[in-house]
Structure 1
C-alpha cells in the first residue's frame, strides 16, 4: 500500500512497484493508494508512517491478528515521527518496521528497534559510460523541493563559475515553482550549469553513467535510490553527511560534506577535477558495497521478512 501511485512517479511509487515485482509470483500483490475493506490479504505493507496512518488504523481494526509492515521512507523517519501523533501511532500499530539504510534503526526510539529490519533497495548494474577528459561533469538528480536542498548545489555552481573545465547538470522536476524559477535563472546566467528538468528513468540512468560524479545534497533521506543507481553504475558520489546517505555509502566514506555547506561541496567538486587520485579512490571505496544493492539481495530480504511474519 503506497500513498503515491504511478502518476506521482516519486520514491514511494518506485519502491512499491519494485517490491511488487520482486514478490511476484510467490505472492499475489495488490498496489493501492489506501487500504479499504474488501482489499483482503494476509499481510499489509504500508509506505510512510504519516501518510499511511489511516490505512494502518483501518487494517488493524479489521484484522487484529494479521501482520502489518510499515516502511519508513525518509521524511517520516527523520521528521514526522518526532512530532506527528498519527505517525507515532503507525509505529505502534505495525508488527515490523522497515528502514532503507543501514543507519535507519538509529532514527527510531530504542524500544522499537527490535522489530525493525533493514531492507536495502536495489537496481540493475550498469557499466560507466566513456568520460571525456576535457572537463568534469558533476550531476545532481532530485526533484526540486526543499528536502533535496538543490540550493546547496546551485551555490556551489556559482562558486565554480570561474572553472570552465567543470560542468554541472541538474535533473529534476520543479515540484516547487520558486525553485524552478531559480534553476532556470541560474542556467541562463551560468553557461556551465544546465537544468535538464524531469527526464525519463532510462535517460536519467544514462546521465548517471556518463557523469564523473553524482552529487546528492539532500537534508533528509531514507535511502535515496539515485545514490544506489550511482553505486551500481560505478559513478562516485559526493553526498551530504546525513544518516540516510552514510547508511548507503558506508560510515567511513570520504566523499561527504556537511548539509548546506556549499563551500565544502565546491571544494570537493574542484578536487574531483584537480586531484587525479580522488575519483578512483572514491570508486574503490564504493565498489565492495555494490553487491548490497543487487536485486537478488533485496528480493531475499523481502521474502525473509514476509516468511518471518506469516509463519510465526
Structure 2
C-alpha cells in the first residue's frame, strides 16, 4: 500500500503565490518518491496517512479537523513568511497549529530565531529547490533590473520604482516590475508610476515561464520585502545566477547568507538607488555579486530538497 499524503494550501489552483508553487513542488517530489499525493485548498475529509499544511493561520481549521478525526496521524506544518513575521504575534491560531503539528518546516534557517523556543525541537529547515534555468544574454543598451512578486504591502512594492527617481541622470538602469496588484490602490499607483518614470515599466502578472524569461535576462533582481519566509523568486535568481539586491530581513539573509554584499535597510530608497548605481557602474562589485550568488547554488538543488522531504516523512511515519 502506498502512503497517502494530502497537501493543504490556501492558495487556489492557478495562483502564482509562493505557497501554491511550494505545494505543487512537494507534490511532485512525493509522487517521485512513490507516495500517493493530492493537493487541496482545505482538508478534503478523506482518510490519509499524513497531512502537510502550508500556512499556520489559514490552514488552522484543516489541521484541527484532521487531528480531531485522526489523532494518531502526523501533521507537517510548513510555515510561511506571514505566519512567522506577522500572524505569530497576532493570532493564537498560529500557535495552536504549531502545537498540533508533529513537525514544523521553515524554508530558511533564520526563521527558527523568530519561533518560540518550545517548538525548536519540531523544526526542520528545508530549502526550496529550483531546476536549472539557462541564463540569457542581458540587454546591451541598458542595465536591466527586475522586481518580481504580487503588489501587496508585505512586499513594499514601490520602493524600487521610487529609488529609480534618485539615479544619476546618465544611468542606463531600466526597472521592470512583474506581479499582480492585490488592491485597486496598488494598481492605480503602479499605473501612475509607469506613466511618470521613464525608466520604469509595470507589466502586471505574466505566466511563470514568461516571468522567468524576464528574470533570466536581468542584470540584477531586487527583492524589497518587509517580510519573507524564504522567497521562491530568490531561489530562482540563485538557480539562474542573477545577482540579487535585497532588503535586509531574516528571510533574505537566510537564503543569501550573512556575508552577502548587497543588502539595504528596508524601505530605504536612497540606499537601494546607491547599490543599483554601484552594480551598474562598478564592474568589480558586480562580479563580487555574481560570485556570492554562485556560492548559494548548493542549497537550491532539487535532489537536496527531495532527500530532506523523504527523511522528514520517514521520521514521522513508522
Q: CA deviation at 1:280?
A: 1.1
Q: Partner residue of 1:34?
A: 42
Kindly provide the CA deviation profile for residues 52-97 of structure 1, in whole angstroms up to 9, marking residues without a partner as x: 1111111111111111010001101111111201111111110100
1:282 aligns with 2:289: yes
SS at match of 1:30: strand
Q: Partner residue of 2:261?
A: 254
Q: Which residue, 157, 171, 196 being the options, matches 2:203? A: 196
CA RMSD of aligned residues (A): 1.2
Q: Distance in 2 between matches of 1:132 and 1:167?
A: 10
Q: Which residue, 75, 78, 82 being the options, matches 2:82? A: 75
* Aligned residue runs from structure 1 range 7-22, under 5 A: 7-22=14-29
Q: Partner residue of 2:312?
A: 305
1:56 aligns with 2:63: yes
TM-score normalized with structure 1 length: 0.97
Deviates more, 1:284-293 or 1:232-241: 284-293
Q: Which residue, 278, 286, 298 being the options, matches 1:291? A: 298
Q: Distance in 1 between matches of 2:12 and 2:275?
A: 37
TM-score normalized with structure 2 length: 0.95
Q: Partner residue of 2:185?
A: 178
Q: Distance in 2 between matches of 1:161 and 1:31?
A: 49
The answer to whether the Cα contact below 8 Å between 1:141 and 1:171 also exists between their aligned partners in 2 is yes
* Aligned residue runs from structure 1 range 137-286, under 5 A: 137-160=144-167, 162-286=169-293
Q: Partner residue of 2:5?
A: none
Aligned residues: 310
The answer to whether the Cα contact below 8 Å between 2:171 and 2:277 also exists between their aligned partners in 1 is no
Q: Partner residue of 1:127?
A: 134
The answer to whether the Cα contact below 8 Å between 2:106 and 2:125 also exists between their aligned partners in 1 is yes
Q: CA deviation at 1:129?
A: 1.1
Q: Distance in 2 between matches of 1:122 and 1:36?
A: 27
Q: Distance in 2 between matches of 1:40 and 1:30?
A: 12
Q: Distance in 2 between matches of 1:42 and 1:84?
A: 28
Q: Distance in 2 between matches of 1:190 and 1:13?
A: 33
In structure 2, stretches of 5+ residues that fail to align are 1-7
Q: Distance in 1 between matches of 2:281 and 2:15?
A: 40
